[in-house]
Amino acid sequence: MGQLSMLELCRNLPNLRHMVYASSSSIYGTSAKPPFSLDERADTPIAPYGATKRSAEILSASYNHLYNLKLTGLRFFTVYGPWGRPDMAYFLFTKAILAGEPIAVYNNGNMQRDFTWIDDIVSGILAALYSLKSQGHRYYNLGNNKPEQLMDLISVLENSIGKKAIINYAPTPPGDVFITYSDITKSREDFGYSPKVSIQEGLPKFVQWYREYYGV
């Protein structure tokens, strides 16, 4: 409904040049082969979140066809950093490790995510917004182009915090995928997207922000 409201607003703006909106790697579900390419059909998301994001893309395609709107959907891959979503693993893990509480680790830690630092995402959004090559309605992946093992993420957090995690292994929830991995070839070609921050650099920055913000 949020996407529909924005599209209705945009079609009635006389001088709209370009609308960039957030999609997600979740639209790929379990059918895509890593690295996830824009050529994948992406029509079998396995959770409601991914389904709503794919629906937003399809709505945008129809509005482009009907009203000739210039639209770009950016498929974000596991964005992390200060002011991030508190329900994401890296945020929950940091909170729990600092408090001496256990963390839930799914599938024995055999999960991989394409963790993307927030500054790299912001650079990609701005580059896409002002790109002259983004005509009509297009999609792009914005990720780090490098999946990381979940246990490596935990190790970096432990080192940054100076404290070991208490790990409880748990079954994988039905809406979780085992790997996300972005193919950013098109983003690099069309608007020079080039992520630079690894988890070894980004996670310590996040932990520092977390300590300062929450006073722990």
Residue 88's nearest CA partner among 79, 97, 76 is 79
CA–CA separation, 212 and 166 (whole Å) = 23
On whether the CB atoms of residues 37 and 183 are closer than 8 A, the answer is yes
**Residue at 163: amino acid letter:** K
Torsion (CA) 79, 84, 86, 92 in degrees, nearest 10: 60
Pair of tokens at residue 81? 């950093």
Q: Which residue has the tokens 């629906």?
A: 55
Torsion of CA 154, 157, 163, 168, to 10 degrees: -30
Residue type, 53: K
Beta bridge partners of 23: 75
Catalytic positions are 49
Residues 6+ apart with CB under 8 A from 139: 23, 38, 57, 72, 73, 74, 75
In sequence order, which residues have a C-beta less than 8 Å from that of residue 5 and are 6 or more positions away? none
